[in-house]
């Protein structure tokens, strides 16, 4: 036996990628609502408001907002112990800076959590998953300290409202994406320079730390984690120059968990800021806030691994894929060009556990693939089962052999949802197929893929039967 008996098996989604109902019950527009659909070769566009005739996948998505009871019943059928989901900030504070919260939005999530709890499913809630109320652009979103206060007020509202219903929280999804995808991370322009991105990241660190402290004061049972976007890279060769270049890349990412897990900026980052003339918008008392708001656990996404070396001058996100200038000849890739590296998952679990000795959680993992519905309605997805099986097997080794403390595993898009990187529906991750296409057309019927029955068995046997 390797996984603890209360291991949190489940699945994960995010509001803007599944809920749809983008203006229902008083919800305000957010940064995801102005992103058009793209594909593996076409970047998503960010438009100035909603433009008639353009395709915005978040507006309809899979209509989880109305189908949540049916969807949660299917999660329960698979035996989920937890459901990672996000609250849409704009459903609670439609403009982000409203004096009072929107009761209809609060009520909706009450119903969602009640539905989960009915089946003994523990909600695991991300407070900010790639969406910021659009109205906060007028403040410069996260570049402005005022937005920290707005976010903290939102956290206070939901912590109080759902106290007793929600125990596990995550503050910012893939917080390190402020370095590569600042719009998704917090409504910051893609053209923003490093000073601007580091200012916004600083404010998110402060906001997260304040939220952690507040949750603990309200209810010591609440556990608040950070969420790292799983970028891990290997050095291209054993040439020390490649190794140092890789180390440099990794530190550009690892300083995020360093701050959130240790409660202060690491020396290497402060030195880098000094050299580059980057300043942090620090106020009196901020050092204490960061220290007092260290996270209880570290969660992260893991899909692929990368390679870096001397040629990695910078790195970019191209149509949802990371580009470092290198590829890995030892690893196969998905149809979207992501490497498949199960052993890298064990490697990353060890890296984090050694670095912080904090409990870990894999809150995203999975294979985005094209699925085919057969004439009889069945969906055979052995490629997805293989991918997940191999990753779970490596995760198990990390627990069993390496002694990593792992709290749970929530594969991404447990039900098909819109892709964040490309805005497509056809890049599917789910155990549950949803009949809706890239244009938002379809019956919205849900059906079980082969992987649904496989994952049910995995949970039933606590990961013994893969």
Eight-state DSSP code of residue 130:
S
Mark 370-409 with x for binding to ligand BG6 (rule: CB under 6 A) and - for no binding: ----------------------------------------
Which CB sits closer to ligand BG6, 272 or 424?
424
Q: How many residues sit in the footprint of ligand BG6 (CB under 6 A)?
A: 16
Residue 301 makes contact with ligand BG6 by CB under 6 A: yes
Segment (H or E) for 19: none
Interface pick for ligand BG6 out of 265, 412, 431, 455 (rule CB under 6 A)? 412
Stretch that binds ligand BG6, among 243-251, 253-261, 310-318, 413-421 (CB under 6 A): 413-421
Instruction: Show Cβ contacts of residue 50 under 8 Å, excluding neighbours closer than 6 positions.
Output: 29, 33, 34, 56
Cβ of residue 178: shortest distance to ligand BG6, in angstroms? 13
Cβ of residue 231: shortest distance to ligand BG6, in angstroms? 10
The answer to whether 11 and 415 are in contact (CB under 8 A) is yes
Which CB sits closer to ligand BG6, 130 or 151?
130
User: What span, in angstroms and rounded, lies between the C-alpha atoms of 431 and 448?
Assistant: 6
Cβ of residue 451: shortest distance to ligand BG6, in angstroms? 16
Residue 272 is among the residues annotated as catalytic for this protein: no
Interface pick for ligand BG6 out of 29, 415, 420, 434 (rule CB under 6 A)? 420
Nearest partner of 123 among 89, 95, 163, 150, judged by Cα: 163
Interface pick for ligand BG6 out of 33, 122, 174, 341 (rule CB under 6 A)? 174
Residue 7 makes contact with ligand BG6 by CB under 6 A: no
Which CB sits closer to ligand BG6, 102 or 301?
301
Segment (H or E) for 233: strand 233-235
Cβ of residue 429: shortest distance to ligand BG6, in angstroms? 7
The encoded tokens of residue 86 equal: 């996000």
Residue 100 is among the residues annotated as catalytic for this protein: no
Residues 212-241 that bind ligand BG6 (CB under 6 A): 229
Which CB sits closer to ligand BG6, 215 or 418?
418
Eight-state DSSP code of residue 425:
S
Q: Are strands 8-12 and 82-86 parallel, antiparallel or unpaired?
A: parallel
Eight-state DSSP code of residue 419:
-
- Candidates 19, 122, 174, 424; catalytic one: 174
Interface pick for ligand BG6 out of 419, 432, 433, 458 (rule CB under 6 A)? 419
Cβ of residue 127: shortest distance to ligand BG6, in angstroms? 14
Cα–Cα distances (Å) from 90 to 5, 23, 129, 396, 419, in that order, read: 37, 10, 12, 38, 20
Residue 320 makes contact with ligand BG6 by CB under 6 A: yes
How many helices, marked H, and strands, marked E, lie in the chain? 13, 14
Which CB sits closer to ligand BG6, 86 or 236?
86
Residue 91 makes contact with ligand BG6 by CB under 6 A: no
Mark 16-55 with x for binding to ligand BG6 (rule: CB under 6 A) and - for no binding: -x--------------------------------------
Mark 110-149 with x for binding to ligand BG6 (rule: CB under 6 A) and - for no binding: --------------------x-------------------
Instruction: Show Cβ contacts of residue 70 under 8 Å, excluding neighbours closer than 6 positions.
Output: 446
Which CB sits closer to ligand BG6, 45 or 144?
45
Instruction: Show Cβ contacts of residue 406 under 8 Å, excluding neighbours closer than 6 positions.
Output: 3, 7, 349, 359, 360, 361, 362, 395, 398, 399
Residue 421 makes contact with ligand BG6 by CB under 6 A: yes
The encoded tokens of residue 387 equal: 């991918």
User: What span, in angstroms and rounded, lies between the C-alpha atoms of 30 and 297?
Assistant: 28
CB-count exposure of residue 284 (10 Å: 0-12, 13-18, 19+)? exposed
Greatest extent of the chain over all pairs of C-alpha atoms, in Å:
65
User: What span, in angstroms and rounded, lies between the C-alpha atoms of 351 and 257?
Assistant: 12
User: What span, in angstroms and rounded, lies between the C-alpha atoms of 139 and 270?
Assistant: 27
Residue 173 makes contact with ligand BG6 by CB under 6 A: yes
Interface pick for ligand BG6 out of 242, 341, 364, 381 (rule CB under 6 A)? 364
Query: Quick count: other Cβ atoms within 10 Å of Cβ 78?
Result: 23
Instruction: Show Cβ contacts of residue 268 under 8 Å, excluding neighbours closer than 6 positions.
Output: 251, 255
For residue 433, report the phi and psi dihedrals to the nearest 5 degrees.
-85, 140
User: What span, in angstroms and rounded, lies between the C-alpha atoms of 186 and 163?
Assistant: 26
Cβ of residue 17: shortest distance to ligand BG6, in angstroms? 6
Interface pick for ligand BG6 out of 7, 8, 10, 14 (rule CB under 6 A)? 14
Catalytic site residues? 174, 364
Binding footprint of ligand BG6 on the chain (CB under 6 A): 14, 17, 130, 173-174, 229, 301, 320, 364, 368, 412, 419-422, 427
């Amino acid at each position: 036996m390797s996984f603890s008996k209360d291991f949190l098996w489940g699945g994960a989604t995010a509001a803007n990628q599944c809920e749809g109902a983008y203006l229902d019950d008083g919800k305000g527009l957010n940064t995801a609502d102005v992103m058009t659909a793209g594909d593996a070769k076409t970047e998503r566009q960010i438009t100035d408001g909603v433009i008639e005739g353009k395709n915005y996948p978040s507006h309809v998505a899979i209509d989880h907002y109305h189908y949540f009871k049916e969807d949660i019943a299917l999660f329960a059928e698979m035996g989920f112990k937890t459901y990672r989901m996000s609250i849409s900030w704009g459903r609670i504070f439609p403009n982000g800076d409203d004096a009072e919260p929107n009761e209809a939005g609060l009520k909706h999530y009450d119903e969602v959590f009640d539905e989960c709890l009915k089946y003994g499913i523990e909600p695991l809630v991300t407070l900010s998953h790639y969406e910021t109320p659009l109205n906060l652009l007028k403040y410069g979103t996260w570049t402005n300290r005022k937005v920290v206060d707005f976010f903290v007020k939102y956290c206070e509202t939901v912590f109080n409202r759902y106290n007793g219903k929600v125990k596990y929280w995550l503050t910012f999804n893939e917080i390190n994406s402020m370095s590569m995808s600042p719009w998704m991370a917090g409504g910051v322009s893609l053209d923003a320079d490093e000073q601007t991105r580091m200012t916004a990241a600083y404010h998110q660190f402060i906001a997260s730390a304040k939220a952690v402290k507040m949750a603990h004061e309200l209810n010591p049972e609440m556990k608040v984690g950070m969420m790292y976007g799983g970028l891990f890279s290997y050095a291209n060769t054993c040439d020390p120059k490649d190794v140092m270049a890789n180390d440099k890349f990794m530190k550009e990412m690892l300083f995020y968990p360093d701050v959130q897990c240790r409660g202060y900026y690491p020396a290497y980052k402060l030195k880098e800021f000094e050299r580059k003339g980057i300043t942090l918008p620090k106020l009196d008392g901020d050092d204490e806030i960061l220290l007092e708001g260290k996270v209880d656990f570290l969660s992260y996404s893991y899909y692929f691994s990368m390679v870096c070396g001397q040629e990695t001058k910078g790195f970019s996100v191209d149509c949802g894929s990371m580009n470092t200038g290198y590829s890995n000849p030892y690893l196969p890739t998905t149809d979207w060009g992501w490497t498949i590296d199960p052993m890298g998952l064990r490697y990353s679990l060890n890296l984090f556990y050694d670095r912080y000795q904090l409990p870990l959680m894999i809150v995203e993992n999975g294979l985005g693939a094209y699925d085919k519905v057969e004439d009889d309605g069945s969906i055979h997805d052995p490629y997805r089962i293989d991918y997940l099986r191999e990753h779970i097997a490596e995760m198990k080794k990390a627990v069993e052999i390496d002694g990593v403390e792992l709290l749970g595993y929530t594969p991404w898009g447990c039900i098909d949802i819109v892709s964040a990187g490309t805005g497509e529906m056809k890049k599917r991750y789910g155990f549950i197929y949803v009949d809706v296409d890239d244009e938002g057309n379809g019956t919205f019927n849900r059906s079980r893929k082969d992987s649904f029955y496989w994952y049910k068995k995995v949970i039933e046997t606590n990961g013994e039967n893969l």
